[in-house]
Structure 1
Amino acid sequence: MDTTARTPDGTTPDEGAADRLARDLALVLPALHRALDRRVDADFPHPKPAEGQITLMRLIRDRDGITVREAAEVLLVKPNNLSATVTHMVAAGLVERRRDPDDKRVTHLHLTPTAAERTHAVDELISGYVEQALATLSDGERGALGAAVGALHVLERGLHPSAP
């Protein structure tokens, strides 16, 4: 006979807490992202690249010379869709494609100086907004967020389709 305590909805207290946490995270993380995106839209002095382009520029910045196929795997998008984005970004002067010296079929992606500067500017704006918001929190709230960052990275890796 199962003597586990259950809530009125039939879950155990731990299951109910996990369900609430999952729902809350699924709602708050995109809301945080949208709030930051709206602030950047309002304050960025140049035409702001689409979020997918900014994400790709950050990836190229961090992994200079990455290929379209590698970038597509990291960003969880189809290579042909990413290739179309790259073509648009090349035309806009944000990304350079350079042929691999050993395999002419492969191209490596590099940021232009303009793209590097704008990616940095967007990241600085976002950091500033978050720093301002963090300043309004208590020490305990900031500590809780600091402790949660590592767990959020682990959660993201666990949600990635390539996770075991």
Structure 2
Amino acid sequence: MASEEAVARFGAVVGELHRLLRRKVVARVHRDSLPEAQVELLHLVRAEPGISGKEVARRLGTAPNTVSTLVHDLTGAGLLARERDPNDRRVVRLTLTDAARTRMADHAAHRSALLTEALATLDPPARDAILAAAPHLDALLDALRARP
């Protein structure tokens, strides 16, 4: 089993990697960044088009009124579309707009380019080890998602 220090270091590195990539991509695309909660909501809707606001709140572990505010802001920004469920008019279904899909694709392309450039500066064994870790990091994500 890994030491507490190694686990803490891993968590710190993953967090800093996420924050640094996000800042650098935003600077590269010359666009204001969205709050992290809005980004999470967009990723969830991309993964599950037509998801309900209630299900978003459950999946993100947040209050329905918080989701309502996020949806309102993203709809106003032209990144999210909401439609009433034809079978139950009380339910709102969420989908990405074309603008959101374009923005997310641009972000992913710039993130990939930044990572490619940074990985190219590492020695081949380090680069190979990092890339080989991706499936294991996916498994770690699954394990974390499965926890209540």
TM-score interval, normalised by the smaller of the two chains: 0.7 to 0.9
Tell me if 1:26 matches 2:11.
yes
* CA deviation vs aligned residue, 1:66-113 (integer Å, no higher than 9, x gap): 112222333333332122111111112111111111111111101111
- Alignment match of 1:73 (pick from 51, 58, 62): 58
Tell me if 1:144 matches 2:138.
no
Work out the number of aligned pairs and report it.
Answer: 148
- Alignment-mate amino acid for residue 98 of structure 1: E
More strand by proportion, 1 or 2? 2
- Alignment-mate amino acid for residue 136 of structure 1: T
| TM-superposed deviation, 1:30 | 0.9
More helix by proportion, 1 or 2? 2
Indicate the SS of the match to 2:89.
coil
CA contact (8 A) 1:57 1:111 kept: yes
Query: What corresponds to 2:117 in structure 1?
Result: 132
* CA deviation vs aligned residue, 1:106-156 (integer Å, no higher than 9, x gap): 111011111111111111111111111111122211221123222222222
- Alignment match of 1:57 (pick from 42, 63, 77): 42
| TM-superposed deviation, 1:63 | 1.5
Higher alpha-carbon Rg: 1
RMSD: 1.9
Query: What corresponds to 1:104 in structure 2?
Result: 89
Indicate the SS of the match to 1:93.
coil
| TM-score, normalising length: structure 2 | 0.87
Query: What corresponds to 1:163 in structure 2?
Result: 147
Query: What corresponds to 1:115 in structure 2?
Result: 100
| Greater Cα shift, 150-159 or 133-142 | 150-159
* CA deviation vs aligned residue, 1:36-91 (integer Å, no higher than 9, x gap): 12112212233332222222222212211111222233333333212211111111
CA distance in 2: counterparts of 1:58 and 1:119, whole angstroms: 9
Higher relative contact order (CA 8 A, sep 6+): 2
Q: Percent identity?
A: 35
Runs of 5+ unmatched residues, structure 1: 1-13
| TM-superposed deviation, 1:163 | 2.3
CA contact (8 A) 1:54 1:119 kept: no
| TM-score, normalising length: structure 1 | 0.80
